[in-house]
Structure 1
Amino acid sequence: MNYWLYRLLPFLNWFPISGKQLRADVVAGISVTMILVPQGMAYATLAGLPVIYGLYASAIPAIIGSLWGSSRFLHTGPVAMISLLSAASLAPFAAAGTQYFIELSILLALMVGVMRLLLGIFRLGILMNFVSQPVIIGFTNAAALIIGLSLLNTFLSVPKPDSGTFLEDFFGVVAQIPHAHWPTVAFGVGTLVALVGLRYLMPRLPGVLVVVILGTLISALIGFERNETVDIEQVQGDPVEGIYHGLLAARQDLDRVIQTLNEASEALQSSEDAGVHPPELAVRVATLESEKKRLSKARNALRLEAHRQQLTRRDHPTLGSVFQPREAGDAGPVWRLSGFEGNRLIMASGGQVVGTIPQGLPSIQAPVLHWDVMPALLPAAFVMALIGFMEATAISRALAARRREKLNPNQELIGQGLANIVGSFFQSFSVSGSFSRSAVAARSGAQTGMFAIISAIGVLITMLYLTPWLYHLPQAVLAAIVMSAVFGLVDFRTMAQYWSIRRADGLAGFITFGVTLLMAPNLANGVIVGALMANLVFLAGTVRPRYEIQSLRSDGTRPGSIRDDAEGEDEEPAAEDFAILRFDASLVFMNTAHFEDAVMDALARNPNARALLVVGNSLNRIDASGIDKIRSLITDLQAADCTLMFSGLKPGVLKYMKRAGLLDEIGEKNIFGSYREALETLQPHRKRTP
C-alpha cells in the first residue's frame, strides 16, 4: 500500500521536513524567483507571446512539476529551447501575439503534456536511446544559435522580415543594421556586459534581476519609450505617404483573407468529417492559402521599407502634429513607424518597452481545442515532448549524481507531463526543466522540491502587486538575457572531439547542426534527420561489422596482434593448414551475409587451410538466421575439406546453438572453451618457418 501511495504522490518522500531544511528551501526559492520572473518574461517573448504568459507559465507548472517529478531539485517552467520550438511550430498557423496564436500556444502545451504523460505511464523514456549524443550536441548548438540570433531584431529595434526561414530572416535583419535604434543597442550591449561582469565579479548576486531593475530604472528616468498614436492623414510627403497607405491596405487585405481562409478551412473540415469531399471547397482553400502567402510577402516588404523611412515630427494647426520625411538640417529625434493600433499608426522615436502587464492571477479555463489544427501539430508536439524530456533528464541526472540519488526518468516524464497539462488550464505555454534555475537552487542549498513551490508563490506575488513596476523594462534587456543564457550552450569543441574520435559520429553531429540551421524555424526536422542519420550509421555498422583475420608471432609461441590483414614484418598467417577469424558483432539476420564474406576472405588468404577457427568472444547474440548461416557454412566447408571451429562462445550463444541442434553438427571436439585452448590444439599442426 505504501509503495503505491508513494508512486502516486512522490512528493511524500520530502517528509518529514526539518526546520533547517525548510529554511534552506525558502532561501533557494527566493533566489530562484529573482531569476524566474525576468526569465519567464524573456522566454514568453521568444515564444511569440505577451510577457504576462511567461509569468503564467512560471507559477502553476513549477508547483505541479515539483510535486510529481522524480527529482527534488529540478525546476520546471519556461525554457529557451521549448519556447522557440513552440513559436516555430505555430508560425505557419497564426501571427505571433494574436489571440489565435495564444490559444494555439496553450493548446500545444496541453498536447505536449499528454504525450509526456503517456510516455511516462508506458515507460517509454527509452525512446531517447535512439538519439545519439553527437546528434543532441549538434542540435543544441544549432538551436542555441537560432534562439540567440532570432532576437537580433529586438536587440537592434528593427523589423524581422518574416520570410519563413531563419537564415533569410537573419541576413535580412543584418542588412538593417544601418537603420538600428542605437539607444536600444546600448541597452542590449550594456545588459550583456553587465551579466558577464556580474557572473565573474559577483557570482552570488542574481545578475538577471540586477540588470532588470537597472534597465527598468534607467529606461523610466530617460523616457526611453516615446510613442504617439496618429491617423494615417498625419503622415505626409512622398514617398512615405504612399508606403504607409500601401502597408495599411496590405494589412487589411491580409486580415480579410485570413478570416475567409479560416472559415473555408472549417467548412472543408466539417465536410470531410461528414464523409463529403467537395473539390470546389478544397480548391478555394488552396487559392486562399496562395493569396495569403502573396499578401504576407507584400506586407513584409512594405514593413521593411516603412522602417527605412526617417521622419520628423512637426506641429500642425489643425491636425496637431504631422510626420514628414526628414531633411538635411532637421533637428530633433528621428521618428519611425512602430506598429498599429487598429487602423491608426504608432509612431516612435524611442525604444520598445514591455509596456502594460495585466495585473492579477491567471484565470482557470480549459484550452480551446482547435481540432482542425491539432493533427498538424502532433509531430511538433511529439518532438517537443522528447526534447523537453531530454533537457529535464540531463539536468536531473547531473543533480542526482551530485547528491548520489537515484533518478526515475519515467516518473520525471509524468511530472513534466502533468505540469504542462495542468498549466494549460492556467494559460501556460509549453514548459520543461530549466538547467540555470535548477543549478541556482542546488547552489543555494535547496533540500526538497518545496523550493519550487516557494518560487511559484514569489511569481504569484509579482503578478498581484509588482507588474506595474515593470512597464518601462526595455525589450532589448529581455533579448540580451536570453542571448546570454543560450550562447553559453554553444559547444563546438565537443563536436570536434566527436569527429576526431569517430568520423561517423562526428558527421551525424555536423549534419544535424547544418540541417537544423537550414530548416529553421522547423527545428523538429533537424532532430529527426540527425536521429535517422545516427541510426543509419549504427545499422551500417551492424550490417557490415568489423572482422579481423588473426596473425601469430613468427616464433609461434603466442598469439600476435590483431590485424585487418595477415601480413607484416614480424607476423605471418596463422598457418598453412588453419586460419583464425574474429567477428566483432552479434550474428543476426542483418549481417549473416557479411559473416559469410568474412569466412570466405579468411579462407582465400589461407587457400591450404583445413580448419577455420572463429573466435567467438565478441558474439554476444545469435538468431535463427545466424544459426542457419553457420549450418550452411559447415556443409560448404566440409565439401571443401575444411572444418569450422569456434572458441570462447558465451553461454547464451551456446544455449541457442544447442536448442537448434547446431552443436552436434559442429562437433564437440571443434568447440573450445577459450582461444588459448584452441591454439594449443591447433598449434602442433602449424607449419614452422624454416
Structure 2
Amino acid sequence: MRWPDRLTLLPFLAWLPQQSLRSVSLDLLSGLSGAILALPQSIAYALIAGLPAEYGLYAAIVPVLIACLWGSSWHLICGPTAAISIVLFTSVSPLALPGSADYIELILLLTFLAGMFQWLLGLLRFGSLVNFVSQSVVLGFSAGAAVVIAIGQLPNLLGLEIPSQATALASLLKLGQQLPNMDWASCLVAAFSLLTSLLLRRFWPRAPALLLGILAGSLAVWALPRFSANVPLVSAFSGQLPPFSPLSLDPATMLRLLPTAVACGMLGLVTSLSIARSLASTSQQLLNANQEIRAQGLSNMLGAWFSGYLSAGSFTRSALNLQAGAHSPLAGVFSALLVALFAVLGAGLIAHIPLPSMAAIILLICWGLIDFQGIRALYRVSRSEFLVMTLTFLATLLLELQTAIYAGVLASLFFYLKRTSQPRVQQWREGEEELLRVEGSIFFGACHYLQLRLQRSHGQRVVIEAQHINFIDYAGVAMLHQEARRLLAQGRSLTLRRARAQVIEELHKLEGPEYCPIRFEA
C-alpha cells in the first residue's frame, strides 16, 4: 500500500513557501475587499436559511480557511450562498422551527453529512464530473448568474424592501411593482460609489477600487446625515469567534436527513466546480477537480463542528477575489481571518456601510463576470454550443439557479449525443465495391444511423474504411454481424479495411474468429 505524500495531505505546502512580500500584500488587499463584501452577504444568507445572523459569519470563517488551504483553485472563495440557503430552509423548516436550537442542530448535522458525501466523491476520484460542464454551460451560467445577482441587488440599490423570490424573473416583476417607491437618496449614494470605483479603475488601476468605492459611499452618508437619513445601512450585530458545536449523530435523524444532504452536496459541488472552472479559464490555471472536491467536503465536515452551515463556491466573492488581483489562495485565508477579526472587533464599523454602496459594487463585479469575448468566439465557432450557452443563460433567469446548471449540462449532453449518434460517413463507388469511410465510434447511439447507410449500399463488396473507428460496443458488434450475414445471404460481403486491433478483437468476441461473417483487410 502506497501512503500519500505530504503534498497530498497538505497541498498548501506546494504554494505557501513560494509567496513573496508583494504577493502577500496583493492577497491581503484582496482578502480585505472580500471580507468587507462577505460580512453583509453572509448575514443576509443566514437569515434566508432561517438561522440567526451570526451563523452566516461562522460559515465564512472555518469552512473558508479549510477550502482555501486544501483546495486547488487559486481564486475560488466558498461560504454561504443564496441558492444553498434557500434549499436548506425549504428542506429543514418542515422538521423544526427556523431559528430554534433543534433547527440549528439539524442544519449543522445536514452540513456534516453533505460534507462527508462530497469528501467520499473526492476520494473515489469523481472529479471527472466537471468534464460534463462544458465551456458553453460555464459561459451561460456565468452570464446568467451575473444577471441574477444584479437583479437581486437592485432593491438595495433603489432603497426598496422586496422579499426574496425563487427566480430572477419573479424578482424583476416584483421590483417593477415597487419601482414608484424607490428612494432617490439611495440611488445617488449607489451612483457615487459606482462612479468612484470606475474612476479609480481608469486612473489608478492598482488601487483597491471596490473597497474605496464602498468607503466613499460610507463617507457620503456620514457627511450628509439629513440627505441620507433614509438610506439603509448594514444591520448591526454583536459577533464572536465560531463556537464549538458538538453534533448529535443519531442514526435515525441522519437517515432522515441523508437524501437532502446528498442533493445539497451535489448542488454545492456542481456550483463550486462550475465557478472554479470559469475562474481557471480566465486565470489560465490548471484545475485539480478531485482535490477541489475533497477540499469542499473537508470544509463542510469540519466546519459543521464550528457552527458553519453548508458552504459552496460564491460567484460574487470569487469574482471579486480575481478582479482585486489575488495571487494565491492566501487571499481567501486572509478574508476568513479578517471576517473573524471584524466579527469580534469591528461590528460597529460594519454597521456604517450603506447597502446601496454594497449593491453598486456588486453590480460592477457582475459586469466583470460576463465574458463577452468568449461569447462572441463561441458564436463564431459553434452555433450548437452557442445555443447551449443561450439555453443555460435563459434557464438561470427562468428557473432556480441550481436547476439552470443541470439544464445546461443536459443540453450539452443532448447535442453531444446527437453529434455522436450520426458519425461522419463518406460514401463512394469503385467498380463493384461500395466504400464507406466512418469517422467516429460505433456505439449503441450510432448503430441505427450506420445500419441505414449499410442497407442503402448496393455494391457487390461493401467495404468500411475503419482506420478512424476508435471504439465499438456490443450493440455495434451485433449490428455489423447482422449486416454481414444479410449481405452474405444476398451473395455479397462486408469487409473492414485497416481496422484497429482492438476493434477486430471486439468483433471476434461475439462468435469467435472462425465464425465471424466479417472480412478484414490490412
Regarding TM over 0.5, the answer is yes
Matches within 5 A, 1:249-648: 350-366=230-246, 375-376=259-260, 378-396=262-280, 399=283, 401=284, 407-429=287-309, 430-432=311-313, 435-436=318-319, 438-439=321-322, 443=325, 450=330, 452-491=332-371, 494-495=374-375, 497-519=377-399, 522-550=400-428, 574-603=429-458, 609-648=459-498
Query: By how many angstroms is 1:388 displaced?
Result: 0.8
Of 467-476 and 492-501, the range deviating more from structure 2: 492-501
Query: By how many angstroms is 1:588 displaced?
Result: 2.3
CA change 1:87–1:191 in 2 (3 A) is farther
Task: Please give the alpha-carbon distance, in whole angstroms, between the structure 2 residues aligned to 1:624 and 1:445.
Answer: 50
Matches within 5 A, 1:94-113: 99=99, 109-113=111-115
Query: By how many angstroms is 1:203 displaced?
Result: 1.7
CA change 1:396–1:105 in 2 (3 A) is farther
CA change 1:465–1:167 in 2 (3 A) is same
Any conservation in 2 of the 1:38–1:208 contact (CA below 8 Å)? Answer: no
Any conservation in 2 of the 1:627–1:662 contact (CA below 8 Å)? Answer: no
Letter in 1 for 2:45: A
Local SS of the residue matching 2:410 = helix
Any conservation in 2 of the 1:40–1:54 contact (CA below 8 Å)? Answer: no
Query: By how many angstroms is 1:136 displaced?
Result: 2.7
Query: By how many angstroms is 1:374 displaced?
Result: 6.3
Any conservation in 2 of the 1:496–1:506 contact (CA below 8 Å)? Answer: no
Query: By how many angstroms is 1:497 displaced?
Result: 4.7
* Cα offsets for 1:635-677 (capped at 9, x unmatched): 2212323222222212221232344566656789x5333xxxx
Stretches of structure 1 that go unaligned for 5 or more consecutive residues are 227-348, 551-573, 604-608, 674-690
Q: Is residue 83 of structure 1 aligned with residue 116 of structure 2? A: no
Local SS of the residue matching 1:99 = coil
- Picking from 31, 34, 47, the partner of 1:33 is 31
Local SS of the residue matching 2:463 = strand
Any conservation in 1 of the 2:425–2:438 contact (CA below 8 Å)? Answer: yes
Any conservation in 2 of the 1:42–1:51 contact (CA below 8 Å)? Answer: no
Any conservation in 2 of the 1:86–1:105 contact (CA below 8 Å)? Answer: no
CA change 1:85–1:106 in 2 (3 A) is farther
Of 6-15 and 174-183, the range deviating more from structure 2: 6-15
Any conservation in 2 of the 1:40–1:57 contact (CA below 8 Å)? Answer: no
Local SS of the residue matching 2:77 = strand
Number of the residue aligned with 1:173: 175
Looking at CA atoms only, which structure, 1 or 2, has the larger radius of gyration? Answer: 1
Local SS of the residue matching 1:160 = coil
Task: Please give the alpha-carbon distance, in whole angstroms, between the structure 2 residues aligned to 1:130 and 1:170.
Answer: 31
Any conservation in 2 of the 1:135–1:530 contact (CA below 8 Å)? Answer: yes
CA change 1:366–1:480 in 2 (3 A) is farther
Any conservation in 2 of the 1:42–1:482 contact (CA below 8 Å)? Answer: no
Number of the residue aligned with 1:273: none
Query: By how many angstroms is 1:164 displaced?
Result: 4.4
Matches within 5 A, 1:156-195: 156-160=158-162, 164-195=166-197
Any conservation in 1 of the 2:27–2:327 contact (CA below 8 Å)? Answer: no
Task: Please give the alpha-carbon distance, in whole angstroms, between the structure 1 residues aligned to 2:53 and 2:223.
Answer: 22
Number of the residue aligned with 2:137: 135
Task: Please give the alpha-carbon distance, in whole angstroms, between the structure 2 residues aligned to 1:195 and 1:51.
Answer: 29
Local SS of the residue matching 1:488 = helix
Task: Please give the alpha-carbon distance, in whole angstroms, between the structure 2 residues aligned to 1:103 and 1:513.
Answer: 36
Number of the residue aligned with 2:520: 671
Any conservation in 1 of the 2:64–2:77 contact (CA below 8 Å)? Answer: yes
Matches within 5 A, 1:27-66: 27-44=25-42, 47=45, 49=47, 55-66=57-68
Letter in 2 for 1:410: N
CA change 1:417–1:591 in 2 (3 A) is same
Stretches of structure 2 that go unaligned for 5 or more consecutive residues are none
Identity of aligned residues (%): 24
Task: Please give the alpha-carbon distance, in whole angstroms, between the structure 1 residues aligned to 2:164 and 2:12.
Answer: 45
Task: Please give the alpha-carbon distance, in whole angstroms, between the structure 1 residues aligned to 2:226 and 2:176.
Answer: 23
Number of the residue aligned with 2:151: 149
Task: Please give the alpha-carbon distance, in whole angstroms, between the structure 2 residues aligned to 1:38 and 1:588.
Answer: 54
Query: By how many angstroms is 1:180 displaced?
Result: 0.5
Letter in 2 for 1:44: S
Local SS of the residue matching 2:61 = helix
Query: By how many angstroms is 1:527 displaced?
Result: 1.9
Task: Please give the alpha-carbon distance, in whole angstroms, between the structure 1 residues aligned to 2:180 and 2:244.
Answer: 46
Number of the residue aligned with 1:232: none
Letter in 1 for 2:319: S
Task: Please give the alpha-carbon distance, in whole angstroms, between the structure 1 residues aligned to 2:225 and 2:248.
Answer: 39
Query: By how many angstroms is 1:392 displaced?
Result: 2.6
Any conservation in 1 of the 2:153–2:359 contact (CA below 8 Å)? Answer: yes
Letter in 2 for 1:541: R
Query: By how many angstroms is 1:352 displaced?
Result: 1.0
Query: By how many angstroms is 1:13 displaced?
Result: 3.7
Letter in 1 for 2:402: A
Length, aligned pairs only = 505
Query: By how many angstroms is 1:587 displaced?
Result: 1.7
Letter in 1 for 2:293: L
Task: Please give the alpha-carbon distance, in whole angstroms, between the structure 1 residues aligned to 2:145 and 2:474.
Answer: 44
- Picking from 124, 127, 142, the partner of 2:126 is 124
Letter in 1 for 2:150: G
* Cα offsets for 1:590-612 (capped at 9, x unmatched): 33232221112232xxxxx2222
Task: Please give the alpha-carbon distance, in whole angstroms, between the structure 1 residues aligned to 2:504 and 2:263.
Answer: 44
Any conservation in 2 of the 1:30–1:458 contact (CA below 8 Å)? Answer: no
Any conservation in 2 of the 1:195–1:211 contact (CA below 8 Å)? Answer: yes
Query: By how many angstroms is 1:105 displaced?
Result: 6.7
Task: Please give the alpha-carbon distance, in whole angstroms, between the structure 2 residues aligned to 1:496 and 1:199.
Answer: 25
Task: Please give the alpha-carbon distance, in whole angstroms, between the structure 1 residues aligned to 2:171 and 2:180.
Answer: 16
Local SS of the residue matching 2:237 = coil
Query: By how many angstroms is 1:493 displaced?
Result: 5.9
Any conservation in 2 of the 1:644–1:666 contact (CA below 8 Å)? Answer: no
Any conservation in 2 of the 1:65–1:416 contact (CA below 8 Å)? Answer: yes
Over the residues paired in the alignment, what is the CA RMSD in angstroms? 3.5
Task: Please give the alpha-carbon distance, in whole angstroms, between the structure 1 residues aligned to 2:180 and 2:106.
Answer: 36
